[in-house]
Structure 1
Amino acid sequence: MNESPLRDDEFAASVMAVPPLARRADYALDAGQNRALIRHIEAGGLRTLLYGGNANLYHVAPSEYRELLDLLADAAGPATRVIPAIGPDYGKMLDQARILAQTHYRTAMVLPFGGFTTSEGVEAGLARIADTAGMPLTLYVKSENYVDVDALARLIERGTLSAVKYAIVRDDPAHDPYLRRLLDSVPVAKVVSGMGERPALVHLREFGLAAWTSGSGCIAPRMAMALLRAIQSGQNGQSGRSSQRNTDDIVQRLYDAFMPLETLRDQISLIRVLHDAVTFSDIADMGPLLPLLSSTPSGHHAKIAQAARTLLALEREFAQTHPNLSDTQATA
């Protein structure tokens, strides 16, 4: 695991993989299967692993948390940043912060809590959690009501927060006054799109966000990284006018490859579909979801399996035709 100090430029250097978490039939953590998934993700070039909602950390027991942290730190390669989630409630967050303080982790993501919060209370609470953990936090923002923009800006300015995972769903992601206000107050390098590939193009092209978090990228990490590099190439003018249209075509083809599985996740369940998709792809056996969640209904399994296997087949084909990610900017 990468134990070096966290830098802002890391967020634009890699798509953030958001993996599910493998467990055995008795719900114990499965080190071997988690390691298999991590190796697949790393082989595709992703260097940030964010264990949060897709890993069902909402329901992880505090008594298991240190074991989980040790497992992930041991499984990740030396260049891979691992960001575990804490929370969502304050009491659980505080206990987990005390455990984090005894480790070499450099940040943890605060899971969003619905209800029974105020912006002032969140601001004060996160400051105490960061002090207890001895590290800045990454905040998962899913609602305008969780913390106001001014409070968010203060938390970043004070060093309480190192990054924001922005995930407020809009009918049109290009029309987002809250995000505009946020970026007027917060360095754009610290804000990551937090809703997978679907809004990623708009968030990076229109708002300049650093990168995005990806569940489907756990199955197709090389394609996710190629998509990021192609978008960045277009933003920076690296492709030149004569090849801009080619770059746009590359982006669209890569983006379209993710949509079938992303659509099923949107329609059925973001967490449950990804968990089952990784298992159906045979990358790793994720086992059962920790209660209070459960597998997707069996009637959905065939279409989830088809989407997952199709995406993995495209990933493997892409790996053969583009063995070096640097080649993708011009030849995808």
Structure 2
Amino acid sequence: MKTSAVQPADISRSVFAVPPLAMSADLSVNAAQNKALIRHIEAGGVSTLLYGGNANIYNLTIDGFCQMLDILEDSAAPESWVIPAIGPDFGKMIDQAKILRNRAFPTTLTLPTTTAIHPAGVEAGLRRAADVMGKPLLVYAKGEGYLTPAQLGSLARDGVICAIKYAIDRKDPLQDPFLTELVQQVDRSLIVSGMGERPALAHLQHFKLAGYTSGLVCLIPAVSQAFLKAAQAGDFAHAQALMQRFFPLENAREKYGFIRVLHGLVRLSGIADTGPILPLLADMSAAEEAELAPMLEDLLAKEPRN
């Protein structure tokens, strides 16, 4: 696992894979199955793994959080960058930051929330969390009322944050006043598109963001990495063609729940047995699995083979 301080080159070198967290029947973290998923992702050329929303960190106990950290440290390749998430509430964020202070992870993602917040309080909380952890944070900007672009700029200049996962949903990703202001406040090399493949090309081509995060990268990592490199090289036609492969399942994830569907898709793919999903979420129904199975088979057929 890569442990050196985060640099802009780390942010742009790979898709940010956002995997589910494989669980055992007793709801403990499954070491063998998580390692199998990590090896599959790394084999596709993806070297950044972000354990946040798709890993259902929201519902993980503190003991489970520590168990996950042990497994991730033991499972990732030496040059893979692994980012656990903390929060979303202040109390859990600080408790987890204290744990991470004595770990080798170079940063952590702060999960977003819309409950009991004020932008000034969010900024104060993030500054406290970074101080407790002793390392800069990766901030998840998901809503207008969480932090302003000016606040994010101040946090970046002060070294409180090392990167931003931008995920404010727009009907037209090209019409985005918040992101337009954000790239004036924060160097684009520190910002990644944070909503999967659908807005990623617009963010990479028109806003010149450094990279993007993906859940479906867990299924066909080589295709996701090829999409990123094509977009970074300015081959937008090729990037567009690659991106469209993900749309059917990404639409299904939006329909039935992004986290729970990805958890089930990885299991159905045979890549790793993700086991039961943690409450308060629920696994896909048999009818949902049957509906998505042909789309999954079609996507997996498009994975490059050696």
Q: TM-score range by the shorter chain?
A: over 0.9
State which of 278, 287, 294 in structure 2 corresponds to 1:299. 287
Amino acid at match of 2:243: Y
1:103-252 equivalent positions in 2, closer than 5 A: 103-234=103-234, 247-252=235-240
- TM-score (normalizing by structure 2): 0.98
Amino acid at match of 2:202: V
Mean CA deviation greater in 171-180 or 144-153: 144-153
**Percent of residue pairs bearing the same amino acid type:** 48
CA deviations over 1:40-67 (Å, ceiling 9, x no partner)? 0000000100000000000111122222
Amino acid at match of 1:297: S
8 Å CA contact 2:28, 2:64 repeated in 1: no
1:265-276 equivalent positions in 2, closer than 5 A: 265-276=253-264
8 Å CA contact 2:205, 2:236 repeated in 1: no
Does residue 1:96 correspond to 2:96, yes or no?
yes
Amino acid at match of 2:142: K
8 Å CA contact 1:276, 1:304 repeated in 2: no
SS class of match (1:154): helix
C-alpha displacement of 1:248: 4.1
Counterparts of 1:102 and 1:248, CA distance in 2: 43
Counterparts of 2:30 and 2:70, CA distance in 1: 13
CA deviations over 1:166-185 (Å, ceiling 9, x no partner)? 00000000000000011111
Larger radius of gyration: 1
Counterparts of 1:135 and 1:249, CA distance in 2: 39
Counterparts of 2:180 and 2:36, CA distance in 1: 39
Amino acid at match of 1:108: T
8 Å CA contact 1:83, 1:108 repeated in 2: yes
Counterparts of 1:191 and 1:128, CA distance in 2: 22
8 Å CA contact 1:87, 1:110 repeated in 2: yes
Counterparts of 1:50 and 1:81, CA distance in 2: 8
Amino acid at match of 1:110: T
State which of 234, 240, 248 in structure 2 corresponds to 1:260. 248
Counterparts of 1:256 and 1:25, CA distance in 2: 35
C-alpha displacement of 1:114: 1.3
Counterparts of 1:211 and 1:303, CA distance in 2: 31
Q: Which runs of 4+ in 1 moved over 6 A?
A: none
Counterparts of 2:106 and 2:93, CA distance in 1: 16
> Which residue pairs with 2:26 in the alignment?
26
> Which residue pairs with 1:313 in the alignment?
301
8 Å CA contact 1:27, 1:288 repeated in 2: yes
Amino acid at match of 1:288: P
The number of residue pairs the alignment matches comes to 306
Consecutive unaligned residues of structure 2, counting only runs of 5 or more, are none
C-alpha displacement of 1:253: 2.2
Counterparts of 1:189 and 1:40, CA distance in 2: 27
Counterparts of 2:137 and 2:305, CA distance in 1: 34
Counterparts of 2:216 and 2:207, CA distance in 1: 22
CA deviations over 1:151-178 (Å, ceiling 9, x no partner)? 1111111011111100000000000000
> Which residue pairs with 1:85 in the alignment?
85
8 Å CA contact 1:29, 1:68 repeated in 2: yes
Consecutive unaligned residues of structure 1, counting only runs of 5 or more, are 235-246, 321-332
Amino acid at match of 2:182: L
Amino acid at match of 1:310: D
Change (3 A) 1:204 1:249: closer
8 Å CA contact 1:85, 1:111 repeated in 2: yes
C-alpha displacement of 1:303: 2.4
Amino acid at match of 2:305: A
- TM-score (normalizing by structure 1): 0.90
CA deviations over 1:257-277 (Å, ceiling 9, x no partner)? 111111111111111111101
